[in-house]
């Protein structure tokens, strides 16, 4: 997702990077390219217009700072505007009422039921007692689908009684939740292929009768411009409180999804990037902006790591990475943690510089990467603790010993040391970025 946008923006930035000074002319040219990139990615034209205008105003009116190159400053502006477009800050569900109620809205097939299961699992893991309610009463299969997902998430589920209306079911579920001490109630509703009055009235009644504070529109990121008008209609009739983008794992251009936040003013709460229940993440505007610009998503990476692996170890590692110091012991920890994190392909999407690579290339690189990290692990294990802490000690002779000891070739030892040096270089950039808020060169 967003690969194409990333590629074209990076091309623009590349041509700016070499410029010692930005002239009005090359700013105009760069802005034109940014505009094209956004339009090609299917971002709504009005949103693009506003976006480019804001960047232009910012860039024209400002003095070039000494510490950064003009090109970097331009990129920073684009980054900031992109972040503002995606939302000023991270927003969570409205948890002020107990039980907290969420109504899932949206067209057919966008991922409401799947996301209901994902959310249920998430809240359950947070220690909440969760009830999901199958309000898609016209399709018996939909209620069964939710039943399966609820069982998978380990939460309770309530379905319609024969002849029961959606609002009656909604109110019954609410009473049931209050009576039995549920903390969270998620209503999965039915959708249509296109927006129609009956549907909107039905869900508007449901939200009103239950008093649910969270009215969340689920948007399929692959859907294109239609999602903008769908969002406007739902917002006008139900008063949306948030958005969830799904299918960000796909190849679609995704720009329409980026426009919906700007058009409705509703925050994006979560993003779904896969069919499995764990494939749901909170949405951070700044991280998404980084990712779209091809800076990767180091912070998300570290967070994902924290969920799955030893937290103390990760924290130590993170600190060392940000301090610009890293030795081969840290590198080994990193290799092992990465292994625990699951698919390399998924991880590579989050790595700096990676999003501009094609999917096939990523997959090919991923399996090669997994083989290589096994080798690297063996190599590091064959070093003495002193060598691991101070890789500069590793002379040609020592390389031979290490290769023999680990059943690898000297070339593998060299490759590892080279990669380690690159990682070290990157951590130094991270340090700069964290310390001074400056954009790393990419």
Ligand X SMILES: Nc1nc2c(ncn2[C@@H]2O[C@H](COP(=O)(O)OP(=O)(O)O)[C@@H](O)[C@H]2O)c(=O)[nH]1
Contact partner at residue 254 from ligand X, Mg ion, none, CB < 5 to 8 Å by partner kind: none
Of positions 29, 167, 224, 274, contacts ligand X by CB under 6 A: 274
Of positions 113, 264, 334, 337, contacts ligand X by CB under 6 A: 113
For residue 110, state whether it binds ligand X (rule: CB under 6 A).
yes
Q: How far is the CB of 39 from ligand X (least distance, A)?
A: 25
Q: Which one, of 303, 328, 442, lies nearest residue 390 by Cα?
A: 328
Enumerate residues 6+ apart whose C-beta is below 8 A from 45: 39
Instruction: Please identify which residue in the block is written with the tokens 């096994």.
Output: 374
Of positions 273, 292, 328, 348, contacts ligand X by CB under 6 A: 273
Comparing CB distances to Mg ion, the nearer of 272 and 285 is 272
Enumerate the β-bridge partners of residue 100: 184
Enumerate residues 6+ apart whose C-beta is below 8 A from 357: 348, 365
For residue 247, state whether it binds ligand X (rule: CB under 6 A).
yes
Q: How far is the CB of 272 from ligand X (least distance, A)?
A: 3
Instruction: Quickly list DSSP for 90-124.
Output: -------SSSEEEEEE-STTSSHHHHHHHHHHHHH
Q: Print the binding letters for residues 278-297 with ligand X: x by CB under 6 A, - otherwise.
A: -x------------------
For residue 253, state whether it binds ligand X (rule: CB under 6 A).
no
Enumerate the β-bridge partners of residue 186: 102, 132
Contact by Cβ (8 Å): 392, 284? no
Can you say whether the dihedral through the CA atoms of 178, 181, 183, 185 is positive or negative?
negative
Enumerate the β-bridge partners of residue 184: 100, 130
Q: Print the binding letters for residues 185-204 with ligand X: x by CB under 6 A, - otherwise.
A: ------x-------------
Instruction: Quickly list DSSP for 319-336.
Output: HHHHHT---HHHHHHHHH
Burial letters 104-133, b for 16+ CB under 10 A, else e: bbbbeebbbbbbbbbbbbbbbeeebbbbbb
Q: Print the binding letters for residues 90-109 with ligand X: x by CB under 6 A, - otherwise.
A: ----------------x-xx
Q: Which one, of 250, 281, 8, 267, lies nearest residue 122 by Cα?
A: 281
Comparing CB distances to ligand X, the nearer of 191 and 352 is 191
Q: How far is the CB of 279 from ligand X (least distance, A)?
A: 6
Give the range of 112-120, 153-161, 307-315, 357-365 binding ligand X by CB under 6 A. Answer: 112-120
Cα-trace Rg, the chain: 25
Instruction: Quickly list DSSP for 80-91.
Output: HHHHHHH-SS--
Element (DSSP H or E) covering residue 173: helix 166-179
Q: Which one, of 219, 185, 187, 215, lies nearest residue 108 by Cα?
A: 219
Enumerate the β-bridge partners of residue 281: 271
Two tokens at 287? 């991280």
Q: Print the binding letters for residues 150-189 with ligand X: x by CB under 6 A, - otherwise.
A: ----------------------------------------
Can you say whether the dihedral through the CA atoms of 310, 313, 315, 320 is positive or negative?
negative
For residue 424, state whether it binds ligand X (rule: CB under 6 A).
no
Instruction: Report the site for Mg ion in 104-143 (rule: CB under 5 A).
Output: 112-113, 142
For residue 122, state whether it binds ligand X (rule: CB under 6 A).
no
Comparing CB distances to ligand X, the nearer of 38 and 105 is 105
**Residue with nearest beta carbon to Mg ion:** 113
Q: How far is the CB of 232 from ligand X (least distance, A)?
A: 19
For residue 249, state whether it binds ligand X (rule: CB under 6 A).
yes
Q: How far is the CB of 254 from ligand X (least distance, A)?
A: 12
Instruction: Report the site for ligand X in 7-36 (rule: CB under 6 A).
Output: none
Please tell me the distance from the alpha carbon of residue 126 to that of residue 377, in angstroms, as a whole number: 35
Residues in contact with Mg ion, counted by CB under 5 A, come to a total of: 3
Q: How far is the CB of 144 from ligand X (least distance, A)?
A: 11
Comparing CB distances to Mg ion, the nearer of 112 and 261 is 112
DSSP 294: T
Q: How far is the CB of 118 from ligand X (least distance, A)?
A: 8
Point out which residues bind ligand X (CB under 6 A): 106, 108-114, 191, 246-247, 249-250, 272-275, 279
Point out which residues bind Mg ion (CB under 5 A): 112-113, 142
């Amino acid at each position: 997702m967003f690969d194409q946008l990333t590629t074209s923006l990076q091309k623009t930035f590349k041509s700016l990077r070499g410029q010692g000074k930005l002239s009005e002319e090359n700013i105009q040219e760069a802005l034109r390219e940014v505009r094209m990139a956004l339009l090609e990615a299917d971002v709504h034209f009005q949103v693009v217009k506003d976006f480019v205008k804001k960047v232009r105003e910012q860039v024209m009116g400002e003095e070039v700072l000494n510490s950064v190159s003009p090109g970097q400053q331009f990129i920073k502006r684009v980054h900031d505007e992109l972040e503002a477009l995606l939302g000023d800050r991270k927003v969570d569900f409205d948890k002020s009422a107990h039980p907290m109620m969420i109504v899932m809205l949206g067209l057919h097939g966008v991922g409401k039921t799947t996301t209901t299961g994902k959310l249920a699992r998430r809240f359950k893991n947070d220690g909440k007692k969760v009830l999901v309610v199958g309000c898609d009463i016209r399709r018996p299969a939909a209620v069964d689908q939710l039943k399966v997902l609820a069982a998978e998430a380990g939460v309770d589920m309530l379905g319609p009684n024969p002849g029961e209306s959606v609002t009656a079911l909604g109110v019954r579920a609410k009473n049931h939740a209050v009576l039995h001490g549920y903390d969270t109630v998620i209503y999965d509703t039915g959708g249509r292929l296109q927006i129609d009055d009956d549907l909107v009235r039905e869900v508007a009644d449901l939200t009103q009768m239950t008093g649910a504070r969270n009215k969340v529109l689920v948007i399929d990121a692959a859907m294109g411009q239609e999602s903008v008008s769908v969002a406007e209609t739902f917002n006008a009739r139900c008063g949306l409180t948030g958005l969830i983008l799904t299918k960000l794992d796909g190849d679609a251009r995704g720009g329409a999804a980026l426009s919906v936040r700007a058009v409705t003013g509703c925050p994006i709460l979560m993003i779904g990037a896969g069919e499995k229940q764990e494939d749901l993440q909170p949405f951070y505007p700044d991280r998404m902006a980084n990712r779209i610009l091809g800076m990767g998503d180091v912070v998300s990476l570290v967070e994902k790591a924290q969920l799955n692996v030893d937290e103390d170890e990760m924290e130590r590692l993170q600190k060392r990475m940000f301090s610009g110091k890293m030795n081969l012991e840290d590198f080994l920890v990193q290799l092992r943690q990465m292994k625990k994190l699951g698919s390399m392909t998924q991880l590579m999407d989050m790595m700096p510089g990676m999003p501009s690579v094609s999917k096939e290339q990523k997959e090919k690189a991923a399996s090669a990467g997994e083989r290589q990290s096994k080798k690297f692990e063996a190599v590091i294990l064959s070093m003495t603790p002193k060598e691991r802490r101070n890789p500069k000690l590793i002379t040609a002779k020592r390389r031979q010993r290490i290769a023999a000891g680990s059943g690898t070739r000297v070339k593998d030892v060299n490759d590892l040391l080279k990669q380690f040096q690159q990682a070290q270089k990157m951590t130094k950039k991270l340090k700069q970025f964290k310390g001074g808020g400056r954009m790393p060169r990419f």
